[in-house]
Amino acid sequence: MRYLPHLGIAALLVGATVAAHSGALGGTFHYDDAPAVVENPAIRSWQPLFYLTSPLAVSRGVDSSGYRPLTVATFAANYAWGRLDPRGYLLVNFLLHAAVSWMVFVVGRRVLGDNRWAAFAALLFALHPVNAEAVNYVVARSSLLATLGALAAFWVFVRRHEGGGAGWLVAGLLAFAAALLSKESAVALIPPLLASSLVLGGTGTRGAHAASRPFREALWFVGLAAAFVAVRLAVGGAGDPAGRSAAYPLWAFADMAWRSVLLWVWPWPLGLDHPLRFIHQFDPWLAATLAVSGVGVVAWSIAHRARAPLAVWGVIWIVAGFLPFAPLFWLTTRGLFQENRMAFSAVGLAWLTAAAARAAWDRLDFRLWSVPVARGLILAVCAVLGIGAVVADRGRSEVWRDDRRLWQEVVRRSPDNLTAYVNLGSAHLDAGALDPAEATLREGLARAPNDERLSFYYNLALVALRRGRHDEARASVLNVIALDSRYWKAYRVLAIIELERGDRAAALSAVRRAVAINPRDARAYAHLGLLAQRAGDESLAEGAYLEALRHDPFNAKARNNLGVLYLDRGRASEALDHLTVALNEEPEYLEAAYNRAVALQRLGRVEEAEDVLSGLRPRLRSDPRFDEPRRAADAGLGDGVSGAARDGGAEP
């Protein structure tokens, strides 16, 4: 029976999470999800040791120096379960948010000393709109995992000081290690741990050394954090913060922390972009406000550390949550920052809000509760706030469903944000809306200084290429190369443009340049293989495809085209192996399905080939590209089909 209240609270939190955040399950991938998930070859297979030791297994893909192997491992598990279906990834985020909400309650029971107010804090965390982004944004899973691990570590730490043995300390260190391996910002747990004696005074520890014991044992966590930093630097490197620093980084950091706390108090306007004043210029009035506020918080904490230890410790937790986002080795403060980054601080804000509500409640005349009007008014206010939070959360999910709507919001609120124009134009392009894509990119290009036009020219080249305006596309790509001669993606696109213009020699030269600049670019090697294959250089083509597969074993286009090459060479068995892997990765890859039927036919497995074709026929689109496979599917595998394998073409 004693567990029934806890089961009720768990059910309440699950219900609140479903009501507020279930709309996120209909979303898709956005922004950093592309390098972290969609284009990250590291998640295509389950390799736990690889994630721990390789700089390629990072949460933002091969172009980042981040080190979050546990987050990458969860992406790999998602991929094994449902490939690139975003619903599975978002479901995991949804469940993690519910788990963090539960741990807010579990730890809150200890620090608040009251189940009811701990449940209030957990419900507040579950419903608060500032947490909506972490559920809707797949790559924000790192923030949820790090916060969950930190809460678990602190809960185990508290249990240790309630009389637990050394095993509890080991368990706490393991939980903290999991948090660090999810996201570097989990190091924020260190200050609250060092100050934990403020809230552990009522535990089961005894003796003169009891007050110092939490501090001394927290040093184990400090050592673990230092070891993590060393490993992270050894595996992931120091990173390159060039171009990401604020003009006044200390003030920009203070501005970010202050505005994040204000979002908790009044979550409006929520959004992907929160432009910081000190990114570009110094504001003396805002600086004075921040300085006075900061000094006031420090002075109040020192004065009240004995009378209100929980409040002081809560402030330490909240401030600690922002410290990793100061201009340290893994991140510099930026104008574009995501709300999911304040997940750790939001936990402390939930506890502090609950503590303040309890203090206010205790000051009320309890006879007011017996007055129907007063009781009804209190319940009505709570209901309105709860419904408002649910409506706001579901509204954010609607925005996050559509990449174009998400970036349109940023452009509307921050018309000077050049990144927003690039991403909105790219989103229009991905949706096939070429007119708004070009209009958006040209508007941003007109606002951009010369040294920030590279991304605009690159995306305008893609728009022109999609329209078939090859000379215009080529001119835009050459503008990119003029701004940065080592921008390897530009050479890859230039190769496709030259191929479309009929100049295979220029295309081959461009793609070789891309490979020389970035020897890990699997897609460039795949393009090189295709160009060599069409030029009749089968040896170069085979080597390029194999090199592409060495860097990305699950590159379906390279697998398909290598299969075509082997079919042309009469090596149908090897072709079948590659084509089967390509289809396992992309079940809707029609060329690979057709080529697999050809391979089966050449191996004498005619019935299997016919089964493949019969399943393929209803999925063929009505465009000339599929005329030949459609005729083959209609007629069965006749004499004219056995040599009709199809390559997958090239794309940017």
Q: What is the pLDDT of residues 464-473, one digit of tens each?
A: 999 999 999 9
Show the tokens assigned to 514. 């891309």
The percent of residues above 90 in pLDDT, for the chain, comes to 61
Lowest mean pLDDT among 323-332, 335-344, 381-390, 451-460: 323-332
Distance (Å, whole) CA 328 – CA 254: 14
The model's pTM is 0.89
Q: What angle do CA 264, 360, 202 make, to 5 degrees?
A: 90
More confident residue, 281 or 208: 281
pLDDT, mean of residues 382-401: 95
Distance (Å, whole) CA 190 – CA 185: 11
Query: In the prediction, which pLDDT does 368 show?
Result: 65
3-state secondary structure of 68: coil
Instruction: For 554-652, give the CATH class.
Output: mainly alpha
Residue pair 560/579 in contact (Cβ under 8 Å)? The answer is yes
Amino acid at 499: L
3-state secondary structure of 620: coil
Task: Please write the tens of the pLDDT for every residue from 200-222.
Answer: 764 444 444 455 678 888 999 99
Distance (Å, whole) CA 137 – CA 69: 18
Query: In the prediction, which pLDDT does 623 show?
Result: 53
Q: What angle do CA 501, 503, 508 make, to 5 degrees?
A: 120
Greatest CA span in the chain, whole angstroms? 93
List every span in the chain annotated with CATH 1.25.40.10: 554-652
Query: In the prediction, which pLDDT does 27 show?
Result: 95
